Structure 1
């Protein structure tokens, strides 16, 4: 049985990140900024606090990130009931998702680590034994590359992501509302108060949801009807794949830029609307909007929407699930 471990990766620029095999979690991301180290990732003080919090700080999410309506799926004429953990719906893989598992450390070096997990047939209601690998690499040009691989013994939906929350001003600063965010997406998905899609994809021109130019996050944050429903941004954007970069986040002091590059079709933008009372590293608690999560994934509730313009979220036994997301940090 594996034990909880912390792995530190470092590069020749002085940047370092910490990871754990508990939840294949990204614990810390320290970036040198003009001679000072800046922690740009939200995190807890102890494993006990990580196990108590429900914000999924830095965790690997699976078997299916985001929500599945009514915690049920149909595959080849067979109905599967999944573990519901947000009312009648399933969020982030169920009550005991991949974020709550101890992963096996398959390999590690100074700048990379690979975690492995076997999710048994029937896990949280999902069919098929899923073999999962998550590799984190820290490059010498300050990129954190996360590579997800999976295979299955039965057809099953798979949607793996990382749930890191970023505050590029430094995680001790109050919030991310003075950050600017750009997302290269022409469409987003409207959702109800439970985060379940209630419509097809809609143009970002509707309801002031356009992030194609850098926008201050506080700007009309709760004036948009769409954002009132979710208490801020908590929406999936269908990425414009003609653009190399999915998103760009800029600190309020303009010293740090983070680019998100991904092979996934969608990006969930979540401004930490319900982070209040989440334990922080300093014996205190985070407030709402303390960090922003930019989660590369399939659109939420995709198992029920085969017509959406993205690859299928269903993995078949003769396929390999392979997606990559890169967080590139630039100090200016």
Structure 2
């Protein structure tokens, strides 16, 4: 049996490490991480590797209007003089709760020439489970949610991680709730810069390239609220040609500050047919990243209709025992998801609306290897 290269913890059902072999005897962790598991709880702001819910990303004004025949006021944890949002589930979203697990599981078989660590094609993994009560952070309905982690190896030696999400509404007193889940891992494929004088120099996205499956993203309100206006257009910092590689450092030498929700082409015009359970859909490539100094490549796939691409402008982790901390642009995120503020808009709400008897589901797959 191969040695596991993926680690997780129960706090936030968090993905803590993703080790990629760089030689016959060495590996490199491509996640921004902490040396002590307790630091994930004491440094919650960056959401390093957390499972995000009840609703990932932002809900405008922290309100769910006309759901179950009433309005709901949610936990506000992002605000300025000009806007207020519920971000990643509120002040104590699922990323800040201790889940039950891990429990070992087998869930079908791998595809695409992937084997488990024993060398066969059973999809072996672990489950974390959370029973989330009605009213937590203002959200309606008691739900039972599970995060599955499956580790495998590709036929060319790639390290493969698949994360699966499943949620059910248990509360008979409400007709529906809203769910949108993702993982908030931060990736840096080159690792720390030796002999750096500060945290910004030690961790940065210089010599990283990316290619995205789409350049069309949700157009945002002015003023920095992060809330979409409802339209979709080409992003100014991303090549319009799908899968065309571009550097994350611009011609001015600065990292491109991207924090936007990109929409797969088939959903640009068709935004209301997205199933609450996308798992039966085929996995699609979202982004491919490369660390040009190490030659490490990461490919992200998902069954989800969109993904947040974030280059970490607001990352701010001060020194801690065993580490110098992380500054702006230390790592980037690819967060497969539903549309931002879908829960807050009637025209998009069907993407995240979980009714009694239905199941929310999604699958994300990560491939990593050294060229």
TM-score scaled by length of structure 1 = 0.86
In the other structure, the counterpart of 2:227 is 197
Alpha-carbon offset, residue 44 of structure 1: 1.5
Residue aligning to 1:298: 338
The secondary structure found in structure 2 opposite 1:165 is coil
The alignment partner of 1:303 has SS state of helix
For 2:192 and 2:342, the matched residues in 1 are separated by 33
Structure 1 position 64 matched with structure 2 position 17: no
- Rounded to whole Å, the distance in 1 between the matches of 2:252 and 2:72 is 38
Deviation at 1:179, TM superposition (A): 1.0
Provide Cα deviations, 1:14-70, integer angstroms capped at 9, x if missing partner. 561110011100111111113321110111122442222210011001101101010
Q: Secondary structure at the match of 1:148?
A: strand
Which of residues 314, 326, 329 is equivalent to 2:365? 326
Kept in 2, the 8 Å contact 1:43–1:281? The answer is: no
Alignment partner of 1:146 out of 143, 163, 187: 163
Larger radius of gyration: 2
Shift of 1:318: 1.6
1:220 CA displacement: 5.2
Match of 1:261 among 294, 301, 304: 301
Match of 1:82 in 2: 74
Task: Output one character per residue of 1:124-165: Cα deviation in whole Å (capped at 9) or x when no partner.
Answer: 000000100000011122111000000013411101110000
1:3 is matched with which residue?
Answer: none
- SS of 2:351's equivalent? coil
Q: Residue 315 of structure 1: which of 335, 354, 357 is its match? A: 354
Match of 1:176 in 2: 205
Unaligned residue ranges in structure 1 (runs of 5+): 1-10
Q: Which moved more, 1:73-82 or 1:60-69?
A: 73-82
Q: Which residue of 2 aligns with 1:37?
A: 27
Structure-1 residue corresponding to 2:93 = 97
Tell me the equivalent position of 1:5.
none
Deviation at 1:181, TM superposition (A): 1.1
Over 3 Å counting, the alpha-carbon distance change for 1:140 and 1:269 in structure 2 is: same
| Pair 1:261–1:115, CA change in 2 (3 A) | same
Aligned residue number for residue 135 of structure 2? 122
RMSD: 2.5
- CA deviation map 1:255-303 (0-9, x unaligned): 2111111011111011111113355784211121111011111111112
2:13 corresponds to 1:24: yes
Query: Which SS does the other structure have where 2:307 is aligned?
Result: strand
- C-alpha deviation, 1:209, in angstroms: 3.7
In structure 1, the residue corresponding to 2:343 is in which secondary structure?
helix
List runs of 5+ in structure 2 lacking aligned partners. Answer: 106-116, 118-123, 194-201, 267-281
Instruction: Name 2:249's counterpart in structure 1.
Output: 218
Q: Give the Cα–Cα distance (whole angstroms) in 2 for the partners of residues 243 and 120 of structure 1.
A: 31
Give the drift of 1:195. 3.8
- Secondary structure, counterpart of 2:369 in structure 1: strand
Distance (whole Å) between structure 2 residues aligned to residue 304 and residue 177 of structure 1: 36
3-state SS of paired residue (1:285): coil
Task: Summarize the Cα distance change of 1:221–1:133 in structure 2 as closer, same or farther, 3 Å threshold.
Answer: farther
SS of aligned partner of 2:95: helix
